[in-house]
């Protein structure tokens, strides 16, 4: 059963922009898929469709064999997580930032991670010298993006959609983020979808699609 399956979907914004035509895409559990293509081609739009921030004009998107429309968006976005291009942080400490999703009703019944777990994640993402009580907005953009990644990973998503995770990052941060993503894919079977501008070529098996003129072409893997 694929994690995500787009069956012949088409979409355009009301302005006519962001047109996607007859997109069929299958992302199996534990696969790593890169999306390349010119700016404005609709890559982010595809990720918005996969998280029900937009609805296709035609065709159906499935998550684990059920149409997305059957999932309440809040439940879906806990399992199919979008890591946006720019970090989105509210005022608050690092700890509050990481635990933000645990305050929502959809996570009721699950135990939030404790400080020891948060610290372990911070160290893995080389943020070990940042105290949990630090104001998150005081961190550099690269650090904030890594914080957002930890916040995503704590939820143990089935699929992680990374929208140009490297654009705001310095080289060290980029390697850390991509390394962790690869580890999640390999060890936890997380399905990773990544928009890439940097020419990044993973050293492990992956699939590559080019999105251009509203159509998707598989170019590698
Ligand atoms: P990419 O991620 O490939 O750079 P996007 O998916 O961000 O491309 O955008 C595709 C096109 O849709 C662009 O022309 C963009 O200006 C337009 N677009 C993006 N978001 C919206 C929106 N919310 N409303 C209308 N047009 C949009």
Written in H, E and C, the secondary structure of 161-185 is: EEECCCCCCCHHHHHHHHHHHHHHH
How much of the chain exceeds pLDDT 90, in percent?
68
Atom of ligand 1 nearest to the CA of 13: 25
pLDDT at 106: 58
pLDDT at 215 (0 to 100): 96
Ligand 1 site residues, Cβ closer than 6 angstroms? 13, 15, 17-18, 37, 39-45
pLDDT recorded at residue 130: 97
Residues 55, 12: contact at Cβ < 8 Å? no
91: which strand partners?
none
Distance in Å, CA 209 to ligand 1 centroid: 18
Find all residues with CB under 8 Å of 129, minimum gap 6, and list them.
Answer: none
- Give the ligand 1 atom nearest the CA of 48: 6
Output the pLDDT for position 105.
56
> What residues contact 58, with CB distance under 8 A and at least 6 apart?
8, 9, 10
pLDDT band at 65 (very low <50, low <70, confident <90, very high): very high
Strands 80-83 and 159-163, by their bridges, are: parallel
Asked if pLDDT for residue 108 goes beyond 70, the answer is: no
Which atom of ligand 1 is least distant from the CA of 14?
25
pTM of the model: 0.92
Higher per-residue pLDDT: 165 or 86: 86
pLDDT classification of 88: cutoffs 50, 70, 90: confident
Interhelix angle 171-188/141-153, rounded to 10 degrees, is 10
CA 48–ligand 1 middle distance (angstroms): 10
- Test site for ligand 1: of 20, 42, 162, 211, most ligand atoms within 8 A of the Cβ: 42
In this prediction, residue 91 carries a pLDDT of: 92
Among the residue ranges 62-71, 87-96, 116-125, the one predicted with the least confidence is 87-96
The residue whose C-alpha atom lies closest to atom 16 belonging to ligand 1 is 40
> Which pLDDT tens digit goes with each residue over 162-183?
998 766 667 777 788 888 888 8
In whole angstroms, give the CA distance from residue 24 to residue 9. Answer: 7
Ligand 1, residues 10, 19, 34, 40: which to mutate, most atoms within 8 A of Cβ? 40
In this structure, the residue with its CA closest to atom 7 of ligand 1 is 44
Q: Are β-strands 66-67 and 4-11 bridged in parallel, bridged antiparallel, or unpaired? A: unpaired
Ligand 1 atom with the shortest distance to the CA of 211: 3
Strands (E), the chain: 4-11, 20-27, 32-36, 58-63, 66-67, 80-83, 159-163, 191-195, 207-212, 215-220
Question: Quick one: which atom of ligand 1 is closest to the CA of 195?
Answer: 2
Render pLDDT for 38-54 as a digit per residue (tens, 0 to 9).
999 999 999 999 999 99
pLDDT at 85 over 90: no
Q: How far is the CA of 15 from the centre of ligand 1 (A)?
A: 10
Q: Answer for the pair 69, 115: CB distance below 8 angstroms, yes or no.
A: no
How far apart are alpha carbons 197 and 35 in whole angstroms? Answer: 9
């Amino acid at each position: 059963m694929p994690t995500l399956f787009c069956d012949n979907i088409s979409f355009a914004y009301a302005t006519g922009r962001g047109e996607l035509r007859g997109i069929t895409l299958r992302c199996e559990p534990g696969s790593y898929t890169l999306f390349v293509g010119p700016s404005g081609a609709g890559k982010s739009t595809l990720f918005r469709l996969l998280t029900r921030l937009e609805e296709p004009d035609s065709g159906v998107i499935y998550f684990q064999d059920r149409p997305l429309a059957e999932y309440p968006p809040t439940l879906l976005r806990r399992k199919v997580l979008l890591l946006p291009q720019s970090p989105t942080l509210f005022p608050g400490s690092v700890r509050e930032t990481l635990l933000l999703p645990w305050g929502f009703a959809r996570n009721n019944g699950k135990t939030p991670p404790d400080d020891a777990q948060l610290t372990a994640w911070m160290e893995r993402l080389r943020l070990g010298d940042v105290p949990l009580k630090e104001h998150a907005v005081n961190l550099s953009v690269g650090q904030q993006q890594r914080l957002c990644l930890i916040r995503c990973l704590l939820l143990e998503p089935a699929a992680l959609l990374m929208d140009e995770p490297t654009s705001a990052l310095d080289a060290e941060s980029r390697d850390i983020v991509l390394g962790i993503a690869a580890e999640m894919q390999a060890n936890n079977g997380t399905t990773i979808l990544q928009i890439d501008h940097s020419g990044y070529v993973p050293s492990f098996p992956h699939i590559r699609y080019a999105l251009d003129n509203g159509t998707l072409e598989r170019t590698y893997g």
